[in-house]
A and B are shown apart, each in its own frame.
Chain A
Amino acid sequence: MLPSGFQYSQSSMQDYVDCPRRFQLRYVESQPWPAVQAEPFLEYERHIERGATFHRLVERHQLGIPADVLESGIQDNDLKAWWRGYLGFDDVHNMDGKRYPELTLSADLDGSRLTATFDLLVVLPGQRIVIFDWKTYRGRPSKRVFASRLQTRVYPLVLCAAGAGLFGGPVNPVQVSMVYWVASYPNEPIEFEYSEEKGATDRDYLQSIIKDIDRHQNNTIWLLTSDMSRCKYCEYRSLCGRGDAAGQFAELDNNHDNIIDSIVIPSLEDVEEVGF
């Protein structure tokens, strides 16, 4: 049913939890639907682009390009503020350990593949691994909101299952923590410690989602979300008969900010080879 080679990710699973029909259209059908997600469109696009640029800056920095070289290229004031906030985020800079920016790990979960791309992993072999995730939301969601996101459950689980090679041996969940750093609130990181208990609960939960997905038939229309407010920011709203106008970017609350998480930084798969 799912395309061969499909790997679950936090965003695809979040899509399923939010709206099974959206999951079906995006991942089972791979169906492009070019409606607007949020208005004013250009403002929304600029926000997404700024977030992608920030991620790239941090990756460059973590790969060893000096901060002053990077800063000289920043024209946008908001971006510069985020960047300076990042430079002042001592927790990440002072931490010992090997750094892995933009690293992807994948693990088998009952015959399905679960993948996570980490903004930054800092690894002290045999001792500790910290997941850093940069968020370029306009607001600062509460810890409770972060706790409810699937990312908070998928990332540590994948790291425990697939991080042994980086860690130099099996990763015990208590050695893992995850830090969300919101660019507009650089001094208020949100940290989650992981545990065996959480690991077991998360594994059960994610397995139940995958089992639920597997029970579906592709020749039927999967369940549409009952929370119609989600449809305002979903490109498939016209296909589902759920409205004609995109939601307002200004009203996009943190519960819906996950659409910004799904920004696709061009992958190698998208690169055109010469083809005239």
Chain B
Amino acid sequence: MPESWFLEGPAGAGKTTYAIQYCHDLVRNDVSPEAILVMVPQRALGRPYQLAFTGSDWPNGTQIDIVTLGGLARRGLEMFWPLIADKAGFAHPEWEPAFLTIETSQYFMARFVNSAVKTGIFDSINVPPFRIMGQLLDNMSKAAVNGFLLDEVADRLITAWGDRHSSRPSVYRAGVDIAQHFREYCLQNNLLDFSLQIELFMNHLLSEPVYRNFFASRYGHLIADNIEEYFPVADDFIRDVWQELDSALLIYDTDGGYRVFLGADPGGMHVLRNLCDHIEIITETRVISPEAAALVSEFDHLLALNSLPPLLEVNPGEIITIASHKFYPDMIEWVVARIVELIAQGIPPGEIVILAPYLGDSLRFVLMSRLEEAGIAAVSHRPSRAVRDEPAARAALTLLALAHPAWEYHPPAADVADALHQVIDDLDPVRAWLLAQIVYRPGRDELGSFDGIRAGAQERITYRAGEKYERLREWLIRYRSEADEVPPDHFFSRLFGELLSQPGYGFHADFEAGRVVAQLVESARKFRRTLYPDGVDQWDAVTHEYFTLVQDGVLAALHVPSWQQQEEDAVFLAPAYTFLMRNRWVDYQFWLDVGSNQWWERLEQPLTHPYVLARNYPLDQVWTDDLEFRYRRDALRRLLMGLVRRCRKHIFMSITSLGEQGYEQRGPLLHLLQQIVQRYGDVQEAAE
């Protein structure tokens, strides 16, 4: 290759800006934009490129492709499928493949998991079936992104478990057996989950001459940004195409690697520097203050063990304020009050983020409500909040159940009341409850008529609300005669369009409800199109199946996409890792509950392991408490340094003596802060 560069530096050093300028220079030197491939580890990180390539200073011409490895794989498989399907062992290579989502993968995995659960093999781990499905799919992805065979997953997990007395090794083996059955089913039915997409791309498509020729004639220049977040197979991919490129720029974020739990391999990707002709290392960031840089050094020193203590020229305590509270609600009040003050000083809401290690429903709700009361725009992102838990989706699902009395699923009266309150404009919760108590009788075929209610109750409910209720009731009754012709996604679309979003109903002009129901429709549509691509004679059973899977937590489990919302001028409320992966800079950060152990705990996932299922983890090494401690410490170091490097002005940290669950808080982050306070003395401490 004529030229290749490796550019390394901390967040805020200007690496992506440099890469964008590099693209400008290529195009200025007559490189056709479509010959440039920009790779990013996840789509949010491609946003700066997308903005730059659509700016008014970007030259007219073809467009630069901005892709993730998964995106590149999927596009290649979609287009060149007929060339590889047979060779890859699919039973019906003449059929088009179905690309599975996480949800539909879980659905197909469910049949294997559920039958294994019945045998009792998973009794010892006390994990609900839908979590077993998720962890087994995770193992398959880990195998694919590391280039392992599925058998190696079990081998690694069993070896790492060591000689602890337990049934765990047989559980691991059972997990891999299920994964293999799932894989076989996919091959029989042309189903491509994420792991199979990656494997097909790496093992078949990349060596297919027509594709290879297409790739080589199309792309001459590679820009790979944030490579520290890439999977090991991305390393294989880059090495594979390396010699065919005219130039490459690889960009590495020092101390990044926030996606290790998903399979990222920052250490392995760093070795790619050895391929490059030129290596540039930037040590300074252009964004943060000297005090923030000192705080970064402090965290590095305290957590990396081997680094030297920073010089005391600058006091990192000047950019932090620590406030202690006894109870959780006090902390929330303090945070909201500080934000109100900042906004009164003219700080745009979009320059403020509130970060927690995990974002539970109640914390999210209370904070969002308090900010709303204060008239402050806020958006939240909680990846673990399922669509089905959103009020609008719950209402739609309750109405689906009411429309199908033959299913003999009787929603609780409270759910019916809540649905009526949600969807009928004039019905407050008290009236909705009253109406539900009168018209809903679990087990009865249909909702009672408003006309049949005593006059006094009708008056209390109001005739206006009663009229709308009656239209809803009639719609549901009318639908029943058509239920066999209506797939589940179509039910939600019709209910939404024909009634719930009409003037006078609760979702009319309710943009949030529109977003939520759209996500529910999408979930049902993908389910229907993947499982029943040729349709069925009677849809009622399919709709019932969808509903049951939602109730079981298998479907409608994804969150409403909110990544676009981060660009709104609003306070952003998110888990700390979510914020980091957006790679966004703000003036002010609020760290909640810094005494919590959750700042360094990882999810309890007994069937998988992010560190053991990694290419760089020795095959014969037992996972010990010492290793756990070291990896946690390193993860915390990366997290804290990453957060501080994305803060331009000030970090407000709050401590509560008792956590959300009422337990005393003495986590490692608190301990670190105490050490910094002792060292510098004059950290700002807010009075309660």
List residues of A whose CB falls within 8 A of some B CB.
3-7, 29-36, 41-42, 53, 56, 59-60, 63-65, 69-70, 72-73, 103-108, 111-113, 115, 161-162, 164-166, 235, 237-239, 241, 244-246, 266, 268-269, 271-276
Which B residues between 51 and 84 are near A, CB-CB below 8 angstroms? 51, 54-56, 58, 60-63, 65-68, 70-72, 74-75, 78-80, 82-83
Do A34 and B138 touch (CB < 8 A)? Answer: no
Say what secondary structure dominates the interface of chain A: loop
Whole-angstrom distance between the Cβ of A110 and the nearest chain B Cβ: 9
Do A34 and B492 touch (CB < 8 A)? Answer: yes
Which B residues between 631 and 660 are near A, CB-CB below 8 angstroms? none
Whole-angstrom distance between the Cβ of B55 and the nearest chain A Cβ: 8
Do B61 and A164 touch (CB < 8 A)? Answer: yes
Q: Mark B184-202, 1 if CB is under 8 A from A, else 0.
A: 0000000000100000000
Do B497 and A4 touch (CB < 8 A)? Answer: no
A55–B432 alpha-carbon span in the complex (Å): 50
Do A34 and B518 touch (CB < 8 A)? Answer: yes
Whole-angstrom distance between the Cβ of A68 and the nearest chain B Cβ: 10
Q: Which chain A residues lie closer than 8 Å to B487 at the CB level?
A: 42
- Asked if B263 is at the interface (CB within 8 A of a chain A CB), the reply is yes
| B83 CB contact (under 8 Å) in A69, A107, A108 | A69
Which B residues between 124 and 166 are near A, CB-CB below 8 angstroms? 134-135, 137-138, 141, 145
Do A238 and B567 contact each other (CB < 8 Å), given the known contacts A63-B79, A271-B68?
Answer: no
Do B501 and A274 touch (CB < 8 A)? Answer: no
Q: Mark B68-105, 1 if CB is under 8 A from A, else 0.
A: 10111011001110110000000000111001011000
Among all A-B residue pairs, the 7 with the closest Cβ atoms? A35-B497, A32-B518, A268-B71, A162-B60, A34-B518, A238-B501, A271-B71
Q: Which chain A residues lie closer than 8 Å to B519 at the CB level?
A: 32
Do B83 and A65 touch (CB < 8 A)? Answer: yes
Do B499 and A244 touch (CB < 8 A)? Answer: yes
A245–B478 alpha-carbon span in the complex (Å): 14
Whole-angstrom distance between the Cβ of B542 and the nearest chain A Cβ: 12
Do B68 and A268 touch (CB < 8 A)? Answer: yes
Q: Which chain B residues lie closer than 8 Å to A238 at the CB level?
A: 496-498, 501-503, 508
- Asked if B465 is at the interface (CB within 8 A of a chain A CB), the reply is no
Beyond A35-B498, A72-B94, A73-B96, 13 additional contacts (C-beta under 8 Å) are A5-B54, A33-B514, A65-B80, A106-B58, A107-B60, A108-B58, A162-B60, A238-B497, A244-B499, A268-B67, A271-B71, A273-B194, A274-B138
A105–B32 alpha-carbon span in the complex (Å): 11
Do A162 and B518 touch (CB < 8 A)? Answer: no
Whole-angstrom distance between the Cβ of A127 and the nearest chain B Cβ: 19
Closest to A274 in B: B141
| A276 CB contact (under 8 Å) in B42, B102, B511 | B102
Do A29 and B499 touch (CB < 8 A)? Answer: no
- Asked if B119 is at the interface (CB within 8 A of a chain A CB), the reply is no
Do A271 and B70 contact each other (CB < 8 Å), given the known contacts A33-B518, A105-B61, A244-B499?
Answer: yes
- Asked if B273 is at the interface (CB within 8 A of a chain A CB), the reply is no
Closest to A42 in B: B535
A64–B501 alpha-carbon span in the complex (Å): 48
Q: Which chain B residues lie closer than 8 Å to A53 at the CB level?
A: 96
| A161 CB contact (under 8 Å) in B47, B60, B79, B501 | B60
Do A34 and B521 touch (CB < 8 A)? Answer: yes
A97–B383 alpha-carbon span in the complex (Å): 49
Do A35 and B63 touch (CB < 8 A)? Answer: no
25 contacting pairs across A/B (C-beta < 8 A): A5-B50, A33-B501, A33-B518, A35-B493, A36-B494, A56-B79, A60-B79, A63-B79, A65-B82, A72-B82, A103-B34, A106-B54, A108-B58, A113-B55, A235-B497, A244-B499, A245-B498, A268-B67, A268-B68, A271-B71, A271-B74, A271-B75, A273-B71, A274-B262, A274-B263
A115–B567 alpha-carbon span in the complex (Å): 23
A42–B517 alpha-carbon span in the complex (Å): 19
Q: Which chain A residues lie closer than 8 Å to B135 at the CB level?
A: 276
Q: Which chain B residues lie closer than 8 Å to A63 at the CB level?
A: 79-80, 210, 214
Do B137 and A276 touch (CB < 8 A)? Answer: yes
Closest to B33 in A: A165
Do A59 and B79 contact each other (CB < 8 Å), given the known contacts A5-B51, A105-B63?
Answer: yes
Whole-angstrom distance between the Cβ of B476 and the nearest chain A Cβ: 15
Do A7 and B54 contact each other (CB < 8 Å), given the known contacts A103-B62, A165-B62, A238-B497?
Answer: yes
- Asked if B564 is at the interface (CB within 8 A of a chain A CB), the reply is yes
Do A73 and B82 touch (CB < 8 A)? Answer: yes
- Asked if B325 is at the interface (CB within 8 A of a chain A CB), the reply is no
Q: Which chain A residues lie closer than 8 Å to B521 at the CB level?
A: 34
Do A64 and B214 contact each other (CB < 8 Å), given the known contacts A4-B567, A42-B535?
Answer: yes
